[in-house]
A and B are shown apart, each in its own frame.
Chain A
Amino acid sequence: MDKQNSNPGGFDWQEAQRRYLEAIAAFGKSSGADPLNPWAGALDYWWKSVAPAVADSEKAMFGNLVNQSKTFLGLADQFGKMMAAAAQGKDGDWKTILDQHLEMMKAGMSGKPGAPAGQPLAAFWQLPLDTWERTLSSLSAMPGDMFKGFKDGSPPPAADRFPSIPGIGYTKEMQDQFQRGAQLWAEYQKHLSEYQALLSAAGVRAVDILRERVAKLGAEGGKIRSLREIYDLWVDCNEDAYAELVYSNEYAEKYGRMVNALMAFKRHAQMLVDEGLATLNMPTQRGMDTMQKRQSEMRRDLRAAEQRQKADSDAIEKLRRELEALKRDMRMAGRGRPDSVAAAENPRAKRRPPRGQSGDIPAEGPE
């Protein structure tokens, strides 16, 4: 059997290769391919065709790898065009060509209305935020966020006025709670947008850093000979721009506000879920928290009581030994041969200490 097909995971390598070649071929004639990122589109097409054959346990890892590869290929396409144009420019021209491409990239990353769409560079800067949203969505008190429909784009008409409509009648309290939820969600969206704007600005700054680095490289006679080199350089520029951002007080404050706003919303959503559960006479998170807290306190009390009990037991045992030693000494004294109490205090001691030096109980028994 071919080594590459002797795969215990059951992944059919030859079949995957065939589909990949088909995807590449289809990429040339398919009208469905992404015209902005054709290489990434071909990879996506291929991945969709082979993903069903990949074991579920491995799909997440493979998916991650493919997603990053798509980003790389998207960058390759974008930088490829720029590098090809710049490589053809004369020594004076390449800077102009580079500047034109970089300005286009910056416009795409600015997130402003009318900016060029489908910029892989902008997608690169979505990495932290995408991961944040995926992480937090898994923590929702309900299956999916209550206000998920509001998430992208503008809220439905009049939605901004909904939270301020006064509640009346029997359902007033419920309405108040939902309105409060809507307010908290709007606050989170506001802080999220501010945070996002910071990242976008840093993305634009990364392009400027790239421009500076390439210019410096050119001045020093250095060369960029592959896409991977420019990709690595681009990563360095992003990390530098990101570092400039995250060490700022503004970032720490806006990051804190975003996290706090989301937590406030989720806490409120949790309370609403609890309300619903309580009406169904089912256990609530709040009730569970109370029980867990009391149980922890009881365990601490119990442990402290055990420690006190052990200390008491040790003290009683010591007193018992002392008492026995005293009794023994008294018996010995009656027979004219007194004993040491110290031995009782330390029953494992092999040698009996000299008379009168055995501890806090006098070696001489009471007459």
Chain B
Amino acid sequence: MNPFDFKPEALAREILEFNGKLAQGLNTLSALEDVEVGVSPKDAVYAEDKLVLHHFRPQVEKPHPVPVLIVYALVNRPYMADLQEGRSLIQGMLRAGLDIYLIDWGYPDGGDRYLTLNDYINRYIDRCVDEVRTRHGLEKINLLGICQGGAFSLCYTALHQDKVQNLITTVTPVDFHTKNDLLSHISRHVDVGLCVDTMGNVPGEVLNWTFLTLKPFRLMGQKYMDLVDILDDEEKARNFMRMEKWIFDSPDQAGEAYKEFITEFYQRNKLVKGQITLGGQTVDLQTITVPILNIYARDDHLVPPDASKALAGSVGTKDYTEMEFPGGHIGIYVSGSAQKTLPPAIADWLKQRA
């Protein structure tokens, strides 16, 4: 049977309606001005080079005594975890009674070109951990890693287990050579050393391009058609623009650290093999015995579930919990359903291990 069921006049009407929505939509967009991101009040409590350690103001009278330090990825900006009212993992965790710190890596420039992963993990993260420990008079604190920050948190915990009480990893790649890992696949034959020698720091635009080309027609085409459909609703348009701002707010990557991460983690898959070395020390995930909560996203196209779930067989802890979130890589932080499930689940898990 012929599936085409419409008339030319309907087609013309659809186009005219589309054009009308587009033209009116430009007015909506221009009225938005700059969209605000980051909703929870916070204070900068430590700074070193470009890094700033933020402490979010607790939202309950007696927060959980062991604070959580969030280690964000070097890619994109950390306000993704605190995007807007009602769409903020951090806000949910604060309301669930947790005390939250967050590392903001800032925007590296030419002076940061030779920062290594050792600098990021054994220096910056370690100093932030020490700062939080000192502020709370504790030997150990809780770590929560996001994506690449999760991989860093694993490395850190393997080397500094005496300072970590519990570890939570979210959408964290562990095995970089799983079947559906497209980022890993397309980077396999790229001479990253040559790229970094040429570009110095790797521009955020290059990373944006890489992420967009994972699903180019959806992310560079269809997404904007969807936008036209919601342009008559200012709040929806504002939400879209918040995400758009985050997507294209891409710091450059410190060249040396980028080279190490792509070659050692993505191309040679050394993390899961226990072959990463930082500052002369080998990162052996099997040495990790602290409790781990590993949260992955079922529909993640950047870090496939299998890449995260590989953690189960790679660590030495006897207290390992896995949690699947029914959504994508970003939805885990900003979707409505994530707000209802993740913060209480994280808080409960931590409180059981106080």
Which residues on B sit within 8 Å (CB–CB) of A228? 14, 225
Cβ-defined contact, A246 with B182, below 8 A: yes
B227 at interface (Cβ–Cβ under 8 A)? yes
- Knowing A84-B11, A289-B113 touch, does A138 contact B203 (C-beta < 8 A)? yes
Task: Please list the residues of chain A having a beta carbon within 8 angstroms of any beta carbon in chain B.
Answer: 4, 7-11, 13, 16-17, 20, 24, 39, 42-43, 46, 50, 54-55, 58, 61-62, 64-66, 68-69, 71-73, 76, 80, 83-84, 86-87, 89-91, 94, 124, 127-128, 131-132, 135-136, 138-139, 214, 217-219, 221-228, 231-232, 235, 238-239, 242, 246-247, 251-253, 255-257, 259-260, 263-264, 266-267, 270, 285, 288-289, 292-293, 295-297, 300, 303
Contact among A87, A131, A260 for B220, CB-based, below 8 A: A131
Cβ of B197 under 8 Å from chain A: yes
**Which residues of B sit under 8 angstroms from A65, Cβ to Cβ?**
22, 25-26, 29, 224, 227-228
Chain A residues, CB < 8 A from B224: 64-65, 68-69
Q: Are A224 and B198 in contact (CB under 8 A)?
A: no
Of the candidates B4, B7, B185, the one whose C-beta lies within 8 Å of that of A246 is B185
Can you give 10 contacting A-B residue pairs, CB < 8 Å? A7-B27, A13-B24, A68-B225, A73-B15, A86-B2, A135-B208, A135-B209, A246-B214, A270-B198, A296-B115
What does DSSP make chain A's interface, helix, strand, loop or mixed? helix
Which residues of chain B come closer than 8 Å to A46, judged between CB atoms? 23
- Flag if A293 contacts B114 (CB, 8 Å): yes
Q: Are A131 and B212 in contact (CB under 8 A)?
A: yes
Q: Which residues of A contact B33 (CB under 8 A)?
A: 8-9
* CB of B6, distance to nearest CB on chain A (Å): 5
Question: Across the interface, which residues of A come within 8 angstroms of B244, CB to CB?
Answer: 61
- Contact at B198–A71, with CB atoms within 8 Å? no
Most A CB within 10 A of own CB, among B2, B119, B241, B244: B2
**Known contacts being A4-B27, A226-B14, A239-B217, is A247 close to B182, with CB within 8 Å?**
yes
> Beyond the given A61-B29, A128-B212, A132-B209, could you list 17 further A-B residue pairs with CB under 8 A, ordered by the A residue number?
A11-B31, A46-B23, A65-B22, A68-B225, A76-B15, A84-B11, A87-B7, A128-B220, A131-B220, A223-B3, A224-B6, A226-B14, A235-B222, A239-B218, A257-B189, A267-B194, A300-B119
B137 contacts A by Cβ under 8 Å: no
Residues of A within 8 A of B194 (CB): 260, 263-264, 267
A-side contacts of B215, CB under 8 Å: 239, 242
| Contacting residues, chain A, for B191 (C-beta < 8 A) | 256, 259-260, 263
**Which residue from A4, A71, A292, A297 sits with its C-beta under 8 Å from B111?**
A292
Residues of the A chain whose Cβ atoms lie less than 8 Å from the Cβ of B214? 246
- CB of B222 within 8 A of CB of A225, answer no
Q: Please classify the interface of chain B as helix (H, G, I), strand (E, B), loop, or mixed, using the class held by over half of its residues.
A: helix
Instruction: State which size class the interface on B falls in.
Output: 35 or more
Give complex CA distance A223, B10 in Å: 15
Residue of B nearest to A136 (CB): B206
**Are the CB atoms of B14 and A218 closer together than 8 Å?**
no
The answer on a CB contact under 8 Å between B2 and A87 is yes
Using an 8 Å CB-CB cutoff, how does the interface string of B101-132 with A read, 1 for contact, 0 for none?
Answer: 00000000011011100010001000000000
Give CA–CA (A149, B30) in the complex, Å.
Answer: 37
Q: How far is the CA of A127 from the CA of B10 in the complex (A)?
A: 29
CA distance A263 to B200 in the complex (A): 11
Would B186 and A246 count as touching, CB distance under 8 A?
Answer: yes
Q: Indicate if B312 sits at the interface (CB-CB under 8 A).
A: no
Q: Does B354 sit within 8 A of A, measured CB to CB?
A: no
Is there contact, CB below 8 Å, between B189 and A256?
yes
Please, which residue of chain B has its CB at the minimum distance from the CB of A226?
Answer: B14
Q: Which 10 A-B pairs have the closest CB atoms?
A: A256-B189, A296-B114, A9-B30, A68-B224, A11-B30, A87-B4, A94-B2, A218-B3, A267-B198, A223-B5
Minimum distance in angstroms from B65 CB to a CB of chain A: 21
Chain A residues, Cβ within 8 Å of B113: 289, 292-293, 296
Q: How far is the CB of A102 from chain B (nearest CB, A)?
A: 13
Among candidates A16, A87, A221, A303, residue contacting B1 with C-beta atoms closer than 8 Å:
A221
A139 touches B203 (CB 8 A): yes
Known: A235-B222, A247-B185. A54 touches B11 (CB 8 A): no
State in angstroms the CA–CA spacing of A24 and B15 once bound together: 12
Cross-interface CB contact of B206 among A83, A139, A217, cutoff 8 Å: A139
Tell me the bound Cα distance from A297 to B118 in angstroms.
12
Kindly state whether residue B41 has any CB partner on chain A within 8 Å: no
B246 to chain A: closest CB distance in Å? 14
Given the known inter-chain contacts A221-B1, A264-B194, A267-B194, please indicate yes or no for A17 contacting B31, CB distance below 8 A: no
Contact with A along B245-259 (1 / 0, CB 8 A): 000000000000000
Find residues 25-41 in chain B having any chain A CB closer than 8 Å to their own CB.
25-27, 29-33
